[in-house]
Chain A
Amino acid sequence: MPLFRIFFNMTSIGLMRPVTSHSAMCRLLRTSSVPLCCPDTLLHRVPASCVQKWSPRCCLRRLHGGTVASTAAAKTALVTPTPSSSNSNESTRPGARFDDVHPDFALDSATRQRWLSELRTSLTHPDYFSVTDMFTVEDLFNARLHLGHKEGSLNDYMRPYILGSRLSHIIIDLDKTVPRLHKALNFLAHIAFRNGIILFVARQQQYQFMVEEIAAGCKEYAHTRWWAGGVLTNSTSQFGCMVRLPDAIILLSIHNHILDNNIAYYDAARMRIPTVGVVDTNCDPRLVTYPVPASDDSKHSVEFLAKLFAAAIMRGKEKRKSIRGE
């Protein structure tokens, strides 16, 4: 079934040559990426036409419900893999993440079995990366995450997350932020664990360099400049070639410099890319997959959250490295 749909899409964009390799097939698909904790072995991207009625949260539930074994079996039925000759230095080459051969087949069979079983357990474990140990409420408090804007700029959809207001200054309830931050960190660690691309987006001009540095530190991507339209929705024209879109976007601010919603906020939802968003009291949290109600305006808060997300990503990557022995 999925194979038929993929060929239909290929003919619709005018490509007639037969596709032999699995990853080449993926690259020819329209650039709608499968969100969330998609196992590394499941590389097909479900075409956008199939997921029109799915919301990002719905995708989450469906993919979590599917087992790795069934998807792996489906995948091996479609593909004839061509394992590479050398196992060493696979991950260190610059283009290693975008290789023709699936990286699982660069491992020896014992490691591959161990990796597949860890993938299975990672989804059923309540806290596979121990994100609950990463911070305390006091850390959030000292980073001034509880300070909101004034009552006059409160967004109605943020009401469930606020404690109250004192002399018209809103206080965000950090007891509600803590579980949501845990979920966001866990999600990011899982995506990094499965070699996903994560994009940091921040539009506060005073912190753009800091965010770029933090993203580079965890070897992920950042876009803190003016957002050109079509970067996600029309990427082929914008970049001049087929590109792999991010598997997760971290929005360190929902607003852009004129206090309007960031284009990334809408486009990520359009392209079914799950977002982790820091929502302040004047932001609309509805299109964010993992909203984290917190202040996004002071340097302490932006720095703290960016570093925390980077640390979660590093945990995912280190665990992947330790299991795969790369």
Chain B
Amino acid sequence: MLSDRFFVSCRALATCARLHALPKEATTFKEVKIIRKEPAKETPPPPKTFLSLLRNSKFIELGDPRGKLVEGRVMQVVGDDLYIDWGGKFLAVCQRPIKNQEKFIRGAVVRIRLLDAELSSRFLGSTIDLTLLEADAKLLGLVSSPLGRSSKH
């Protein structure tokens, strides 16, 4: 429609807006129609169910953790080991690199490639898996550090 192409500076639209209390955000007549169709959101959203939360979670989106690139936060540093929280159940443990090592401190955000979300396997003779209670990942580089900016590897 021709009226769709009228903009806010158009006198006809301005007059219309004043007389009929049209929404001010509209720059064309078509937008007026669209804005008016949206109902006022007053009712609070319904409480989320566990199944819907799970379905829309990052865990499901991740899929198979093997080979996935994620960003994690360093939660603890023990010697040269960094304990990285990537959002899963267990922390990934990686060796601190020699370059920029003073920047790899608690609170630093790092990029890792996940290899396993939980290091557990069945050993010969046992009925149950033995778990190391940690995730396996390869440290790729530093994203940000509380000590300052860093170069990405």
Instruction: Check if A and B associate.
Output: yes
Residues in chain A within 8 A of chain B (CB atoms): 136-138, 140-141, 144, 146-150, 152-153, 163, 166-167, 169, 171, 173-175, 206, 259, 282, 295, 297-299
Residue of chain A at shortest CB distance from B75: A299
Tell me the interface secondary structure of chain B in the complex: loop
What A residues does B53 contact at CB under 8 A? 137-138, 141
What B residues does A149 contact at CB under 8 A? 89, 118, 120, 129, 131
Tell me the interface secondary structure of chain A in the complex: mixed
Cβ of B16 under 8 Å from chain A:
no
Cβ of B101 under 8 Å from chain A:
no
Q: Which of B3-11, B18-26, B59-67, B139-147 has 4 or more CB atoms under 8 Å from chain A?
A: B59-67
Asked whether, in the complex, the Cβ of A146 is within 8 Å of the Cβ of B50, the reply is yes
Residue of chain B at shortest CB distance from A173: B50
Cβ of B122 under 8 Å from chain A:
yes
CB distance from B46 to the nearest CB of A (A): 12
> B89 contacts which of A166, A206, A259, A298 (Cβ < 8 Å)?
A298
Size bin of chain B's contact surface: 20 to 34
> A150 contacts which of B49, B63, B118 (Cβ < 8 Å)?
B118
CB distance from B49 to the nearest CB of A (A): 7
8 Å CB contacts to A: which residues of B71-129? 75-76, 85, 88-91, 117-118, 120-122, 128-129
A150-B120, A167-B63, A167-B64 are contacts. A137–B131 as well, Cβ < 8 Å?
A: no
Residue of A146, A152, A171, A259 with most partner-chain B CB within 10 A: A152
**CB-defined A-B contacts under 8 Å, sample of 30:** A137-B47, A137-B48, A137-B53, A138-B47, A138-B48, A141-B54, A141-B57, A144-B88, A147-B59, A147-B88, A147-B89, A149-B89, A149-B129, A150-B120, A153-B120, A153-B128, A153-B129, A163-B54, A166-B60, A167-B65, A173-B50, A174-B50, A175-B49, A206-B76, A259-B131, A295-B89, A297-B90, A297-B133, A298-B85, A298-B90
CB distance from A195 to the nearest CB of B (A): 35
Asked whether, in the complex, the Cβ of A141 is within 8 Å of the Cβ of B50, the reply is yes
What A residues does B50 contact at CB under 8 A? 137, 140-141, 146, 173-175
Alpha-carbon distance A62/B129, docked complex (angstroms): 40
Q: A137-B48, A149-B118, A150-B129 given. 20 additional CB < 8 A pairs?
A: A137-B47, A137-B53, A141-B50, A141-B54, A144-B88, A146-B50, A148-B89, A149-B129, A150-B118, A152-B128, A152-B129, A167-B63, A167-B64, A175-B51, A206-B76, A282-B131, A297-B133, A298-B89, A298-B91, A299-B75
